[in-house]
Structures are given as C-alpha cells and as structure tokens.
Chain A
Amino acid sequence: MAELLFWPALIAYGEAAVAYAGDARHPGSLGRLATWGVRIGWLVQTALLVVQASRADGFPWDTWAGSLNLFVWLVVGAYLIWGCKPRYRLLGLVVMPLAALLLAISYAAGGAAATGHSGYSTIFLIVHVGLVLAGFAGLTLASALAALYLWEERLLKRHSPRVLKFRAPSLATLDRLVGRTVAVALPLLTLGMAAGFARLRGKSDLDPLIGLTVLAWSVYGAFLVLRYGVGWRGRRAAYTALIGFVLVIALHLGLPTSHFA
C-alpha cells in the first residue's frame, strides 16, 4: 500500500519540477500544471504518511530515511503556502527538484515502509523529530527564497533584458520573506533541539549530527542578529541563509545513521 502511494507522490513531484522548469522558459499553463502536481503529490504523500502511522507501532519516522520522508512532506507543505501564487512559482524551480530527489533517496533507504517499535517514547519523538524537521523545512524554504533572490539580483545587475519576463517577486519582498521565514523556523528548531538535549540530561553520547545541528543553529542565529540587529540586507543576508542551508543538507545526507542508531 505504502509503495502504491510512494510512486504517485514521486511522479507528481517530478512532474511539478519539470513543469516549473518549462514555466520559467514559457510562462503560462505549465505553471498551473506544476502547481497541481505539487498539490496532488503532497496529498498523496500525506496519505502515505497516514498509512505509515497507522501501521507502525509508535512514531513511524524515527529512522533517518523515515525522517527524510517527513521532512520532504513538511518542506512541500510549507512551500504550498506560497507556491500557489503565480509570483512564487519560480520558487518551485528550487524546491520541487530537491523534494523529488530527497523523497527518492528516502524511499531507496526504506523511508516509505512501516517501522517497528522505537526505543523512544512517541511523545518525545513527535516533539523532538517533528519540531526539528519543521524547523529544517522552514530553513530549506528560506534558502530557496534566498537562492531566488540571488538569481534575480544577478539578472538585474547584469541588465538582463529578460528580468521582467519571469514575473518573479520583487527583491525587497524576497529579502523580507527570507528574514521572516528564518525567524519562524529557528524557534521551532530551538524547541526541537531543547527537547533532545533535555532527554540527554547531561549524558555524554553526543554525536556529530548534534554538533552539526548546533552549528547550523548558530549560523541562522547569527543571520537573525545580523539582519535585524546590524541591518544586513540583500546579497549578504541571502548568502548567510545559503551557508546555513549547506549545513542543513549535510545534516540530512552526510550523517545519516549515527544519530538514529
């Protein structure tokens, strides 16, 4: 059953990624097709997660691959808030290929299957894994917005005649949204991390994933201080958000097993 739901979700996300690429070249009906791909894919993935939850004994995303599956769902869900608006369709160009790729990796690693009973309590996993992944999803979206900002800024600086063709959000809007998204996502990550640290209660079994998470948290914390305290705007703020995102990706792909062992 889970497999039956995984493939339609992946195909819908893949279709959305391709359609967004086409829409960037020739804006029009492909954009609508892409938006529907995101909506349908997200609904099918929701069903997949429901099936996983109903079959599992406890919290079903406590493996690395399972958490990746949940992470993709959160990222796409967060994107849907803006993605339905025509001006934010370009954001899909960054988000959807990433979502399709991560979902495929998650499946290959067994993240779409039901898991057995976890050694952790369900409440702890919901608070810790749920909040950390929600925070990462928000930071991923902020990075996509930052990438879109840098791309558009480059077009403007280079006097590209095509700059108005894409009907992208203005630089000021993107800059504002990057700041706001990080400001919402970082507290979620902080709470999730706090739940994890509270469970450790001074134990010394810190793994590299925890260290990397703290580093990412520091980068985004610095981003907020620099943006709202020092007044960093535009390119510098966007690059900082992207540096943080490199760490987020490393967290998901570089150290897959040690934290979940």
Chain B
Amino acid sequence: MNVVVVGTSHRLAPVGVREKIALDLGAAAELARRLADGGEAVCLSTCNRTELYLAHPDPDEAEQRAGAALAEGEIELYRLRGEAAALHLFRVAAGLDSLVPGEGEILGQVRAAYESGTCGPVLDRLFRQALHAGKKVRTETAISESPSSISSAAAALAQQVFGDLEGCRVLLVGAGEVSELAARSLVKRGASISAVTSRTQNRADELAVPRDVDPAVAELDGCYLYDIDDLQAVVSESLSGRWREAARAETIVAQEAERFRQWQASLDVVPAIASLRRRAESIRAGELAKAEGRLGGLSESERRTVESVTTQIVNKLLHVPIVRLKEAAATEGAGYVETARDLFGLGEEERATQDRKQGQ
C-alpha cells in the first residue's frame, strides 16, 4: 500500500481558490468514502487547506483519482508520496505548515478528518501517529504557548499579573471588535465579563488610537498599561519565539515520520516471513511423513514429543532470520527481503502453481 496526498493550501492558493474546493465534514467524509473504493481515503478540509490522503496499491491511479476529485487543471495542486506524504501530514498536525506555527485548531481538524475518513490499517496508523506527533510537539516544545494575536496577548498579560483568571470578574472598557476578541480570550482563560462600558454612546475601544487612557496611569503602583503598540510588540516577540520552537518541533516530527517509515517497511516483510514459516512447516511435516514407517511403533505420547521437538527446532532455526528480516526491512528496505526470498526459495512453489494453472 502506498500513501499518497494530493491537495492545496494557503502556501499555493489564495483564499478565492481554496474556498472553491473547501468541504464541510459531511462532504469530506462522503468524498473519502467515494475515493476509497475498497482502499483507504481521508479528506482534510480546513480554511487553509484541502487535502486528500489515499492508501492504494497503485500510487499513480490514486493520484489521478484524487486530482480529478479536486478539479485538477483548474487549481494548482501538490502531490506527495510515501515518506514525504507521511512527513507532510505530521507537519500539518504539529501546526508547522500553518500560517501561525503551532496553532492549536489544526490538531482537532486532523482528528475530525481521521474520524470521518475511510481508514484501513495504513491510514489508521498514519493518522494516529500524526495526532501523537502533534500532541508531542505541543507538549515538548513551547510552540503553542505564547499568544499569536493582540487580544490573546492582552489576556495572557492579565494572567501574568493576576495568575489564574478562574473566577475573576472583568470590567471591559470599550465595545469594539478588539474588545470582543479580548473578552473571548479572557473567558477562555476562566474569567467572567461582569460589565462592558463605553466612553461614548458610539462603540469605543480601549486599544484605540488616539489612546483612551492617560499614559500616566502606567506610573501608578500595581497598574500595568499596555497600548496597541506594546501588545503588537509582545505578539511579534511571541511569533518569533514560535518560529524558534518550530526548529525543535521539526526534529520531533522527523523522528515520528521515521518511525512510520519503519513500520511501513516492516509490512513489506510480513508476506516473506509467512512464506518462510509455511515452507519450513511443510518441510518438517513432509519429513515426518516420510519417516512414518520407522515411527510406527511410537506411542501417542512419544509421537507428540517428536512433533513438539521438531517444531521447536524449526522455530529456533527461524527465529534469528525472522528478527534480522524485520530489522533489515526497516533499515535497508525491500532489497534485503528480495535477497531473503531468493536465498530461501520463497514463493517458488506459488509461482510454479500459477505457471501450471496458466499452462492448463
């Protein structure tokens, strides 16, 4: 199964283009179901991106179908496969591909897309690991801790002064758009807005230009006065901090992508291991059958002992080659598995059977 992603985002398309292919959750789920067609598909559609993730045996066909579903030709799309596709999703979930690095909303959107998608073993593993990577980045780095807007900076500063805002009653001076956003940020942090007041009958803002509050207020003990420039400076500093943390987050995401690659590579070796076990068991059973004449005098208990001993010998002989195969598949790729197939003559019987059937 190959993982393929086809889509577009704010990096490639302006909002006027993105809105043409944006889907709500229900439509995204329906499109994923239609595209899966016996395979696996997930559609991630947010205001910044619409992406189709497919796991399919034929990556060319998967790309073609996904491209057609996103009106290819009219819209510029990116296409990624295998490890690059996995890494892309991990970066998206970690907020590293967002406008504001580390923004928290994307993780919930990835989860919603995963839950409404048509997942099988590959996409299920891919999306669960992407969600894990997203959480890990937010836990182990400070990428999502600092405020990214003026209103959230104001609320964060209030929290830095007053501590836990839970139960705090806030008097909001001004009733403009910025006040509304600040109120939302404060409420999100546990405060309650007890009153909203305005200087005039018209809507006024406390973060207005010209300023509504005398700058001399800042000199008073216990008063902390921030105007719009001060808040903007806090936001700029916090965004640059997010970019610094993004470098650390990239390392975490790359590690997770490598883990996914190793898991996927280990899938390639499963048929070879099964074939090896089948072949060994068939030799063991065949040799015991040949010796049936000489073993005829054995009691049932002795026969069971012989069965058990021969099985253990086979298992012990196979243990190291199987472990090495799994390790090599993760590090050296499919070439090693092919060598093992050749060395142990795996699949020859299946091929001979197929040839016989074709001859008939």
Contact = CB atoms under 8 A, between A and B. Distances in A.
Contact of A164 (B163, B164, B224, B234): B234
A146 to B, nearest CB: 16
Given A28-B248, A156-B224, A165 B159 contact: no
B157 A27 contact: no
Interface in A6-31: 26-28
A117 interface: no
B160 A170 contact: yes
Given A156-B224, A235-B221, A164 B147 contact: yes
B142 A159 contact: no
A173 interface: yes
B222 A163 contact: no
Contacts of A203: none
Contacts of A173: 163
B287 to A, nearest CB: 58
Given A164-B147, A164-B156, A165-B237, A234 B161 contact: no
Nearest to A236: B221
B295 interface: no
Given A159-B233, A170-B161, A164 B146 contact: yes
Interface SS, A side:
loop
Contact of B236 (A161, A167, A234): A161
Contacts of B157: 156, 163-164
A233 interface: yes
Contacts of B248: 28
Given A157-B224, A170-B163, A27 B233 contact: no
A171 B146 contact: no
Contact of B161 (A26, A159, A165, A172): A172
Interface in B139-191: 141-142, 145-147, 153, 156-157, 159-164
Contacts of B244: 26
A167 B162 contact: no
B218 interface: yes
A234 B163 contact: no
A201 interface: no
Q: Chain B: interface secondary structure?
A: helix
B159 A167 contact: no
Contacts of B241: 165
Contact of B162 (A28, A159, A168, A170): A170
B16 to A, nearest CB: 35
Contacts of A26: 244
Interface string A167-209: 1111111000000000000000000000000000000000000
Contact of B238 (A28, A165, A170, A172): A165
Contact of B160 (A159, A163, A236): A163
B160 A162 contact: no
A237 to B, nearest CB: 11
Contacts of A27: 142
Contacts of B226: 159
B236 A164 contact: no
A240 to B, nearest CB: 14
A164 B238 contact: yes
A157 B218 contact: yes
Contacts of A156: 157, 160-161, 224
Interface of A: 26-28, 152, 156-157, 159, 161-165, 167-173, 233-236
21 contacts: A26-B244, A27-B142, A152-B160, A156-B160, A157-B224, A161-B230, A161-B233, A162-B237, A163-B157, A163-B234, A164-B156, A164-B157, A165-B238, A169-B163, A170-B159, A170-B162, A170-B163, A171-B162, A171-B163, A172-B162, A236-B221
CB-based closest 9 A-B pairs: A161-B237, A170-B163, A172-B163, A161-B233, A159-B230, A173-B163, A161-B234, A171-B161, A156-B224
